[in-house]
Structure 1
Amino acid sequence: MGRWQPDTAARGLAPEHEADLDQLVEIDGALALAGAIEQAAAVFGAGHPEIVVSVAESTSLRGIHRLVAAEIDLALSARPPTPAEVAAARERGMVLKPYLVAHDAIAVIVHPDRYQRVAAVSREQLEQVFISGRIHTWSQLNPTSGSKSADPIRVYACPQAESGVAASFVELLTGAWETPFVATAVVVADESDILASVARDVGGIGFVPLLSVDPRVRALAVGHLGATPVAPSAASVRDLDYPLRRRLFVLTRGTPVGPANHFIRFLLEPEGQATLARAGLVPLY
C-alpha cells in the first residue's frame, strides 16, 4: 500500500455543476473542527442559500465511522484515517479521501512579568501542571527562574464539554479529551476569560487559540522533554515543529460531487480559510 497523502487543494475536487446544488450536506466529527466548520457553513450559506449544511459535534472516530456507513456526507477529523478505517471503507467499495483544511494550534500563556523568568516548558511539564498537579509551584517548573519556592501556579481553564480548544488541549497532553483538569484549576467560562485572567495574574497560566494571543500576555515556547522548545507561530505550526498542534481534515467517500464539492472548495479558498482563521484555527496559507 502506498504512503497516505492528504488532498490539500481544490484540484482534488470534482468540477462544479450548478444543477446539483439543491441538497443537504450532513457533517459529523471532531469537536476541534466542528465549531469552526459551523461558522464557515454560515458564511457559505449566505452565498449559497439553496444548500443546507448541517454540522454535528462528536469525535474523529464517530465521524469517520458514520461516513463509512454512508450516514453523512463529510467527516471531520483531527487525525489522518487509520489503516483499519481505510480498510473498512475499502470493504464497502469506498475510498476515504482526506482534505487538509486547517491546523489546530494552542498557545500556553503567562503574564508578561512571569515570562521574564519562565519562557519555555516541555509538553510533559504541562501535563504535570494542568492535569496531574505534580508541578504546582513556579520553582518546580523552572528551578533557575528565581521564583520563591512557595510561589504557586494558578491554572486557568474552561470546561472541555463546552470548549473545543479545552478538549483539544487536554487530548494533546493526555490522549483523551475527557481527562479532567487539576482539581485546583480556576474554571472560567471560555478562552477569552482565560486570557483576561492570566493578563492580570502574575501567577497564572492558561491556554488559548494561537491566533487569540494579544499583547496582554506572552506565549511560552513548548517542546518535548529533552528537545529544544519551539515558539508558537503560524509558520512553526504549518511546518509541524510546534508540538501543541494538529492537522484538521474533512474526509469524503471518493471525489465529492454536488453540494459537498462546493462546500469543500469554499473551505480551501481564501474566504473559507479566512473564516476558519476567525474561528481560531491556523489557515493553510
Structure 2
Amino acid sequence: MKKDQLFTRRRLLLAGAALMGAAGTAGAARLRGADGPARPGGRATAAVGPQAPAPPSSVFRLEPMAGYGPSRPAPARIPVPREPVQRLPEHGRGMVLTFDDGPDPRYTPGILRTLREYDVRAVFFVCGRMAVENKDLLREMADDGHLVGNHTWTHRLLTRLSRAEIRAEMESTCATIQDAYGEAPLWFRAPYGAWNRAVFQLGAELGMEPLAWTVDSLDWTEPGSRRIAEQVADGAAPGVIVLSHDAGGDRSQTVEALGRYLPRLLDRGYHLTVPRRRFA
C-alpha cells in the first residue's frame, strides 16, 4: 500500500514537471516566433535558412530601466547665440591668443615652445583633417593647459553648406578632438568668420560656444614677423582676442612674431588667458 502511494506521488510530480516544461517551451516559442531567434517584446522574426545563426545578443539587448544599468551623460545644452564672442567680458587686462587651421608639425611645435617658455595659455582652433594626423600635438596642448576648439574638418565656407554638411564637419572634428585631447571641444570658430543661424544652432547642439576675434594679426598675408608683431602690439587692449594661424601656409613668420610680441605684452601688464564660457 505504501509503495503504491509513493509511486502515485512520483507520477504526479513528474507530470507536473512536464507541464511546466511545456509551458516554458510555449512561452519561448511565442517570443521567438516559429523559427526565428528570440527578441524582446514578443516580436517574431523569420528564419533566414534552416540553420540561420542567431545575431549577437547585443543587437537585441533590452534598454536599462530607469535607475538601473549604465547611463550616458546627456549632451550639454546651451542657448543658441545670435553672435559669436568677440572679446572677453571680464574686467582687467586679460587677452586671449588664438591659433587657427592646425596643428601643423612644421609650425605648431615652435608656438607651443614659446608659450611654454612664458607660461602662457592659448586656444587652438584645429581642423579635423590636420588633427587626425597630428594627435600627438593635441595631447601636448592638453598637457600644457591650452584649450582646443573646433574649426571644422576641411575649413569650408559653412554658409554655403547644407545643415547636414555643417553637422558632419563639426561632429567629425569633435570626435577627433575628444579622442586625442581627451575632452570634447567647448568652443567653435567658423572658417573665414562666416556665421549663420544654422552654424549657431548646430554648434549649440554639440555643446560648443562660438568664438570670433577682435584683432587680426594678418599673419595669413605673410607681411613679415616684425609687421605681425606690431599689428598685435598695436591692437592690444583689455578683453582683446587675437587671431593668428599655425597652419594653412608658411607660418614661420607667425612663430617668430610670437617671440617678439609676447614678452612685450607681458611687460605691459597683460594677462594672456583663455576665455570663460558664458553658458557653463
Same fold by TM (over 0.5)? Answer: no
Higher relative contact order, structure no. (Cα contacts within 8 Å, ≥ 6 residues apart): 1
Question: TM-score, normalised to structure 1's length?
Answer: 0.23
Q: Name the structure with the higher strand share.
A: 1
Larger Rg: 2
> TM-score scaled to structure 2, two decimals?
0.23
Q: Which has the higher helix share?
A: 2
